[in-house]
Amino acid sequence: MRAAPAILSIVALVALAALPSLLTQYQITLVLPALAYAIALLGFNLLFGYTGLLSFGHALFVSIGAYGTAVLTSKLGLKSFEAILLLCAVASVAVAIPIALLSVRYVKIFFGILTLAFGMLFHSFLFKFYNITGGDTGIRVLRPTLLGRAYEDLDKTAFLVGPFYYYCVVLLAILGFVMWRLVHSPFGLHLVATRENRRKSEYLGVRVRFFRLIAFAVSAFYCAVGGAILAVNTGQADPELAYWTHSGELVFMTVLGGFANFFGPVVGAFSFIFLKSELMGLTQYWRFWLGAILVILVVLFPRGLAGLFAQLWARLHRSTPT
């Protein structure tokens, strides 16, 4: 059973790698944001699921990734996606640290409201400083190079569903592995301890605020990487990315997938993107149905889809004669 997560991950990655030969180009363009959100939410859930701090402002860090990519590619002429990812992530962490220093003193609703406020602050900055940010139209994102290759022979869609898609799958694999190691390290253990009982963990020598700060910074790093992928996919960084409803969507996806499970955020990202796309095709009241689904899920399966799968898996194992 202990090898199960590793096997599951490998199967999932192989499946992701095989998708381009199974799905239409349009469907693959849907998988791309799912990959981006999966990465962002892995980081988000280190803070939400593991540390117990629910942020309503993490779209801020996603938009730093997106705007960073836009500025670097179209204004500064930097094309290497590796360099872009690194710079965006570092910028995101740099913004996250002062916000975290202030916010991690609080928990629950106070933490949530503070992060929401910072998110709104950034949104109005993007909106009002037209000269720097392009206001409501945002900034165009030019196609980056991947490991030094420009793929000039490919048109936009072919680039996205081809090399860029595989690049993102590999990124998810690497960042997923790093996150897996993080949550199972002494650091991860201490994070959970601070979530479960702050006072007790302090008396056991756990530096609560410092570890929360690190968790916050790591989550900002992951969100920026996700934002950079989103920006390349849409070719545009716009202020909607920083709006609080986008932060809400991050929470929605994580809850949908299950924040108590390591894979929950990944499951949540994929289910949300496909659910949204299906519902939008069926009805113009898709937001209503999304909300209804979340309500049902929270009431009936508070551990999310991943929790539901885990439960079914356990039941299946128990009923199989050995």
Partner 1 sequence: MSALLEAHELRKRYGDFTALDGVTLSIAEGELVSIVGPNGAGKTTLVNLLTGLLPPTSGTVRFKGEDIAGIGPVNLAKRGMARAFQLVHIFPSMTVAETIAVAVVSQSDKAMRFFTPVRKDSAVNMRVREVAAIFGLERKLQTESRLLSQGEKKLLDIASAFALSPEVILLDEPTSGVSSGDKHGLMRNVVDAARKAGVKSIILVEHDMDLVAEYSTRIVAIQSGRVLADRAPAEFFADPEIVAAIVGKRVRRLAQGAA
Q: What share of the chain is helix, strand, coil (3-state, %, to 5)?
A: 80, 0, 20
Distance CA 115, CA 250 (A): 13
Whether 236 and 138 have beta carbons less than 8 Å apart is answered as: yes
In the complex, minimum distance from the CB of residue 153 to partner 1, in angstroms, rounded to a whole number? 40
Residues 104-123 that bind partner 1 (CB under 8 A): none
Both tokens of 244, joined, read 């609080």
Query: What Å distances lie between residue 79 and 25, 83, 246, 320, CA to CA?
Result: 24, 8, 27, 54
Whether 52 and 107 have beta carbons less than 8 Å apart is answered as: yes
x/- site string to partner 1, residues 125 to 164, per CB under 8 A?
A: ----------------------------------------
Tell me the DSSP string of 30-48: HHHHHHHHHHHHHHHHIII
In the complex, minimum distance from the CB of residue 255 to partner 1, in angstroms, rounded to a whole number? 18
> Which range of residues in 163-171, 191-199, 235-243, 299-307 is near partner 1 by CB under 8 A?
191-199
| 182 is a contact residue toward partner 1 (CB under 8 A) | yes
| 187 is a contact residue toward partner 1 (CB under 8 A) | yes
Both tokens of 104, joined, read 């991690």
Among 22, 203, 316, 321, interactor with partner 1 by CB under 8 A: 203
Among 197, 245, 283, 311, interactor with partner 1 by CB under 8 A: 197
Among 76, 189, 282, 296, interactor with partner 1 by CB under 8 A: 189
Q: Does an H or E element contain 139, and which? A: strand 139-140
Distance CA 214, CA 223 (A): 14
x/- site string to partner 1, residues 45 to 84, per CB under 8 A?
A: ----------------------------------------
Among 173, 193, 280, 293, interactor with partner 1 by CB under 8 A: 193
Residue 84 Cα to chain centre, angstroms: 17
> Which range of residues in 98-106, 131-139, 143-151, 177-185 is near partner 1 by CB under 8 A?
177-185
Both tokens of 220, joined, read 């900002």
> Which range of residues in 18-26, 37-45, 186-194, 276-284 is near partner 1 by CB under 8 A?
186-194
Q: Can you give the binding site for partner 1, defined by CB under 8 A?
A: 178, 181-182, 184-190, 192-193, 196-197, 199-208
